[in-house]
Structures are given as structure tokens and as C-alpha cells.
Amino acid sequence: MKYIKLKIKDKTLIIYLNRVEKLNALNSTMIKELDEVLNQYLNNESVRCVIIAGAGDKSFVAGADIKEMEAFSPLEAADYSNKGLNLFNKIEAYTKPIIASINGYALGGGCELAMACHIRYVSPKSLLGLPEVTLGLIPGYGGTQRLRNLVGLGKASELIFSGKYIKSEEALKIGLINKICEDPMEESIKLANKISQNSPLAIKYAIQSMVSGLNNNYLDSFDIENNLFSNLFDASDSKEGISAFLNKRTPEFKGK
């Protein structure tokens, strides 16, 4: 892979977006490579959690690659747009938890990528924002929806209309990120290890249930949650978890 470095730590796949000289700005090759990696590991049972980070110490992702966009024909723009949107939706619905470990700039498409992840751990000096309107664009990877879902319409409007960057502290205050950490990778790995002790099947269903709530009306989502909950009683993980609790031992989940 040209722009992606992979590392496996215990049961966690760490994906580094690696285009340091361009502050990891997302181009179409990176989008393709990231998509391939996620497809490759989706059914790999030894991986229970994923971390996405930017290589280097300055940037998570400083946005979509502005230079590449400049040369797009309308047809290329449509293709780029479809592939990017599909990837970001895939990340949001990915059935293993994905943590964005953010060290530095998370701007434009980079902030959208972080928002598509399930959890965001961020260094104190990071800067986040959606400056697309300063380029005559709007967030195009689902960012208008995801930012509104995370921070509410008022704050989302303020950020998107102004294109301003905010520091980690403000991002935490408005609910855009989960936590500020001196070392976001170390903390992300700790969280991933904790998550990996739990039932992969239960986590998969929790993700499916939460994502279904984004696509369905409120009451239908309860039905979906109810079905997923009931299905777990057919699975060995729930029997293992309940039996381990009752027998005062540590459960060994298989994700089945």
C-alpha cells in the first residue's frame, strides 16, 4: 500500500494514514486503500477493534486533497464523491469499533473521517474544523449530518458556516470528541484492549442498532434493537457471558 501503514497490536488493527509531507491529506488512492483494508479485516476474528490515526506528529488528516480536486472533471468528481461517501458510511456502520486517534489537524474531510469513526480521542493541541465553505464547497462525506448529530444544529451551523477551526477543549465541550489525551494513541490502545474483552457479537449488534437509529424512525429503531437483543439469546457469547458471571470467572467470548 502506498499511503497506508498497518500495525496489529494484540487484537487491534492500527491503520496509519501515511502521507506526512501533505499532512495526510486524503486523495483517491488513500480512499481506495483504506476501503480495501477495512474489507480485508471485516471478517478477521482475531481483530476486534480498529484505530485510525495520521502518521507523523502534526496531523490526523488536513482534509481532502485540494490539489487533486482542482483537476477533476465532473465525471471524476462524481466517482470520487461516490467512493468517498461509501467509504465513510462503511466506517460508520463497520461492525468492529473504530477509534479515531487524532494528533494534530482534523480538517474538512479529515474531520468528517473522524466523525464517521465511532469514538474520537484527541491530543490537547489538535485543531478541528470544517473549512469547506472557504473553498466554495460544503462537507461532502456526510459531515453536515454527522456534525449535527454530534453537536446539534446550532453548533453545527456555527462551525460549518464560519469554517473556523476549534481547539480540542472546545471540541470536547460541544461533544464533537470523546476525550482529550496527552497521548491519544496510547489511550486509544487502552480503550481498544478494554473493548476487546467484551463480546464481539454484542458489540456488532450494538453498532447495528445504533446505526439503524440513524436510518429509521424512532419507534422502528426500538423494534430493530429488540430483534437484535432477542437474537443474542441464540448465540454462545451470551451464554458464555452469563455463565461466567454466575460462576465468578472471566468470560471467553468467541463472537458467535
| Residue numbers 11-40 binding ligand DAK by CB under 6 A | 22-23, 25
The enclosing H or E element of 60 equals strand 59-61
Spell out the residues 6+ positions from residue 133 whose beta carbon is closer than 8 angstroms to its own.
160, 161, 163
Q: Taking Cα atoms as reference points, which of 54, 57, 67, 60 lies closest to residue 27? A: 67
Among 54, 97, 109, 241, binds ligand DAK (CB under 6 A): 109
Among 8, 42, 133, 135, binds ligand DAK (CB under 6 A): 135
| Residue numbers 192-251 binding ligand DAK by CB under 6 A | none
Q: Does 131 bind ligand DAK (CB under 6 A)?
A: yes
Residue 105 bridge partners (DSSP) = 59, 127
DSSP state of 64: B
Q: What is the smallest separation between the CB atom of 75 and ligand DAK, expressed in angstroms?
A: 13
Among 16, 60, 105, 253, binds ligand DAK (CB under 6 A): 105
Q: Does 3 bind ligand DAK (CB under 6 A)?
A: no
Cβ–Cβ contacts within 10 Å for residue 75, how many?
Answer: 8
Q: Does 91 bind ligand DAK (CB under 6 A)?
A: no
Q: Please identify, among the stretches 45-53, 137-145, 180-188, 241-249, the one whose residues bind ligand DAK according to the rule CB under 6 A.
A: 137-145
Q: Does 54 bind ligand DAK (CB under 6 A)?
A: no
Among 54, 108, 184, 251, binds ligand DAK (CB under 6 A): 108
In whole angstroms, give the CA distance from residue 48 to residue 203. 10
DSSP state of 43: T
Active centre residues (catalytic): 112, 132
In whole angstroms, give the CA distance from residue 204 to residue 198. 11
Going edge to edge, which strands form the sheet with 179-180?
4-9, 12-17, 49-54, 98-102, 119-122, 179-180
Q: Does 86 bind ligand DAK (CB under 6 A)?
A: no
- Judged by CB under 6 A, how many residues of this single chain contact ligand DAK? 22
* Residues of the shown chain interacting with ligand DAK in the complex, contacts defined by CB under 6 A: 22-23, 25, 62-67, 81, 84-85, 105, 107-109, 131-132, 135, 137, 140-141
